[in-house]
Structure 1
Amino acid sequence: MDNNKRTVIVTGFGPFGEHMVNASWVAVQELQKLGLGKKVDLHVIEVPVEYQKVQSMVPSLWEQYHPQLVVHVGVSGMATTVTLEKCGHNYGYKGLDNSRFCPDSQCCIVGGPDCIHSVIDMESVCKRVSASGLGVSVSVSKDAGRYLCDFTYYTSLYLSQGRSAFVHVPPIGKPYSGLDLGRALQAIIREMLETQDQEEEEICCHHLHSMTSS
């Protein structure tokens, strides 16, 4: 494998409840067709709407691929925009999953912090994508919903020291097509990678400056 390539994992969820076709997985499959360019090694994974599956799958993704970025995508029946989630929450998981299960502790990581923020500047990503003329509305949120979306996001943030992202999409046709959502994910993830690159350059420059000035 090309060592200069960056590994990016994007997950979508399987069917649940009224979402017999989960818009998040449709969007992720459209993204896979579009790709993220030759410099990115993109892997897409469908995640079942089950707490215990998430608890085993998410750590294995980080261990197996050592990705630069993991972006989880979920559907929100209330959303009318593509929504960038800033943080994941540890407590408050009372909703039963597809196997009629919910954690006894009602939390993701026993003893973990209440909330973990992504290191990615979602406000900046939102502004840049919104200004790009994509034709898809993008917004930012601090509440991923205390169900499998939030549970997955927190777990991933905890494992990656914040190097994860979560994107909520509206159901297909309300108002966007699967292709629209795929194009939005492509633009968003490219901006996230760009933001990561800029932050790493700043850290590197700061480190060099401190070395030369000491």
Structure 2
Amino acid sequence: SRQLRKAVTFSDSFGPFGEHAVNASWVAVQELKKLGLGRDVDLYVYEVPVEYQAVQSLVPSLWKQYHPQLVVHVGLSGMATTVTLEKCGHNYGYKGLDNCSFCPDSQCCVEGGPECIDSVIDMDSVCKKVAASGLGVAVSMSKDAGRYLCDYTYYTSLYLSRGRSAFVHVPPLDKPYGAEALGRALQAIVQEMLQLLVQAEEKIHCQHAHS
């Protein structure tokens, strides 16, 4: 099969924060790391602190280091009851203080950047495919990643990658899904996203070959 370029999966948050003693996003990504994404995909996992300034430095450095085909950020949502695919990231409205009691003076990710950036991934298609796969994990979609570090990280990554990023919110552990179920869901989601990218690239190559 065709060799895929490197795929990097981040956990958008890690360790306890707020009222969450255990961050389900990091636990889920660790399960994904155990499962892997198949022989054709190099998977790299990183912890991204719940800090605006850390995101500003770390996310660009990882893109520069790996030049990945896709980055999938994973974060915890205390309100979620499903695994949620975020369609877009937002540039403005960051008023919440991070773990260092800091927020950007501009309250935005990229000054002068567009208000919203959509992922190039067809989240509707991913959601339908994974929901029909029989994993036993409910998957839904959202257009609002929350205007906190999850949204901030997502927009930053989308801006750098021109849309070649994705964000997945997971619910707290055992509310209702355990670590293994979340890991399997992430595996199915990321594999489907990568397949969509490969198909899109093959279509472009075919069009160029016949032009």
TM-score range, shorter chain: over 0.9
Give the whole-Å Cα distance in 1 for the aligned partners of 2:36 and 2:127.
20
* 1:23 partner letter: A
Aligned-CA RMSD value: 1.0
Provide the secondary structure at the position in 2 that maps to 1:120. coil
Aligned 1:105-124 pairs, distance under 5 A: 105-124=106-125
1:4 aligns with 2:3: yes
Q: Deviations over 1:70-112 (max 9, x none)?
A: 0000010110000000000000000000000000000000000
TM-score of the superposed pair, with normalisation by structure 1: 0.95
Aligned 1:15-164 pairs, distance under 5 A: 15-164=16-165
Give the whole-Å Cα distance in 1 for the aligned partners of 2:56 and 2:135.
35
Q: Deviations over 1:142-175 (max 9, x none)?
A: 0000000000000000000000000000000000
Counterpart residue number, 2:166: 165
Provide the secondary structure at the position in 1 that maps to 2:21. coil
Give the whole-Å Cα distance in 2 for the aligned partners of 1:4 and 1:140.
29
Provide the secondary structure at the position in 1 that maps to 2:3. coil
Q: Deviations over 1:30-68 (max 9, x none)?
A: 000001111111000011100000000100110001111
* 2:200 partner letter: E
- Runs of 4+, deviation exceeding 2 Å: 3-6
Provide the secondary structure at the position in 1 that maps to 2:201. helix
Aligned identity (percent) is: 75
Give the whole-Å Cα distance in 1 for the aligned partners of 2:167 and 2:50.
15
TM-score of the superposed pair, with normalisation by structure 2: 0.97
Give the whole-Å Cα distance in 2 for the aligned partners of 1:132 and 1:148.
31
Give the whole-Å Cα distance in 2 for the aligned partners of 1:63 and 1:51.
19
Give the whole-Å Cα distance in 2 for the aligned partners of 1:20 and 1:43.
25
Give the whole-Å Cα distance in 1 for the aligned partners of 2:124 and 2:165.
15
Provide the secondary structure at the position in 2 that maps to 1:40. coil
Give the whole-Å Cα distance in 2 for the aligned partners of 1:96 and 1:156.
20
Give the whole-Å Cα distance in 1 for the aligned partners of 2:181 and 2:9.
17
Show structure 1 runs of 5+ residues with no match. Answer: none
Aligned length in residues? 208
Aligned 1:190-209 pairs, distance under 5 A: 190-209=191-210
* 2:61 partner letter: S
Give the whole-Å Cα distance in 2 for the aligned partners of 1:165 and 1:24.
14
Give the whole-Å Cα distance in 1 for the aligned partners of 2:205 and 2:135.
32
Show structure 2 runs of 5+ residues with no match. Answer: none
Give the whole-Å Cα distance in 2 for the aligned partners of 1:5 and 1:194.
10
